[in-house]
Structure 1
């Protein structure tokens, strides 16, 4: 019997013969058979939420509503000005949820595209896999480790192209009123070819099911990678540590976990900075432009306007940061819906 979405609503997806292809704190990801299609799309995965995860327990109904709204938003984009171009761009660079798997009013998981090299536009005869961006953010002296894993070092053309794709995609998500939340090197998948990275390197955001409206709440909790926490989050965590348990501490912890469009800007700028810091001893820990090499790399890739915008995007005060669209214009110029295809 062919697998159906309804059959995924089981407590033991492994009993369906599905291959596990990823795990996380909140979910387990299973590869779905190519015979299963959703809205005409194949090559899918089933992201099954862990029912006992503290951040998910008790929010199953709210998560179902939020995911259905997110899927609905994607479908109605065609009705908006430039909506078709936005939808096409997002389908190329975001693991957008396609269907909710539920039991009654409770979400169990979500079906999404599999973000592999084929999704990212790799030629069929290229065996280079798509992997998290964090695999490439390492000191230059560790290039041999990449080669030993069948990967190719990221060159300046690849850094430039991937940075523009990510900022353009984030700008479009902000334009339709969303906050991405957990932006990190681990939550971006990239395809980096051996040659012609200027035209073929590509990237996509995963964990899009946790996107939420910029004004309003979300069903699935938005996590945050500690190494990417913005200054405002660290400020509120210090406030929480300084007071005993009670309303003030709970408020401070809630504020520390709040994700916003300005925090998205900070994290995206930090991601780009770390891509440009591989000559540093610990590039994954960099939070500021602190060396002449970083400065020169950024100017070579994005010009002086890009250097200024990235510096502003890392400001301690959220109100002092540019919007994602302003950051994109400083790095590249133009509108993301127009140039997105040029950077794909």
Structure 2
């Protein structure tokens, strides 16, 4: 088997990553975690004691990414505004790490006219052309979109890349296989990041997927595959760095699967009867944010004051975004059919 077709398991000691990059990753992870924690509170307003999915400030379904921060920051730390990112129905961590306007994103989730889509899309349909980010609620649908962006980059002679974030369940969809086959045939700068949080809604990965990890499927397309164990942000950084270097230099696509952890339910209100009650407390004991904070605190150039400043900046930005969303107006009812495709 060619070296490019072999799965790369990140078990060895990780090479050094600059303190500046680690600081960026830490601040983004804190921001993502705090954002999702605040969304739990905002979403639950008026939905108790009887759960009403359409009630109050944030109506509709809500899929949060608490615990899955390393997948987003380890990849997006390497990206520019010219690189494209697509995300699935659990998109907030990917959006924040890519640099989506946090105020407009939050307003969109609250259904306000100042939102990215004027309040008409909600949290599963975030679109920010300024940083080339989009997401959608159809499983696996973002992969062909990223494929198109990768093809555009190659046809225009640019070195930009396209990254599709998906859950492990989407790796069993036809769009995954068809897109990767074309990406390999055309040697496109596409990277598919499989966030394996162990469950496709409530179905364990072991019950639905024929391979131990989806990076192994890279050999079927003659492309590179990498596996990141234990939700490690530094290992994700290195796997992403290598994949992006290949993509930017015309060496084709990569599949990265990261073993990550979803602390919350598939959606807010999920009774989680499919999980052992001891599972999440065990996962939280090896939280990636705490690990990265410890790593930074052990470096000579990062003080406790520095870490506190990063945390305060992240939380202030989130608080301002939520306040902006709450203060914004709802769209006028007569605008409901504007910006809608008509045949």
Answer yes or no: same fold by TM over 0.5: no
TM-score (norm 2): 0.26
Which structure has more RCO (C-alpha within 8 Å, separation ≥ 6)? 2
TM-score (norm 1): 0.26
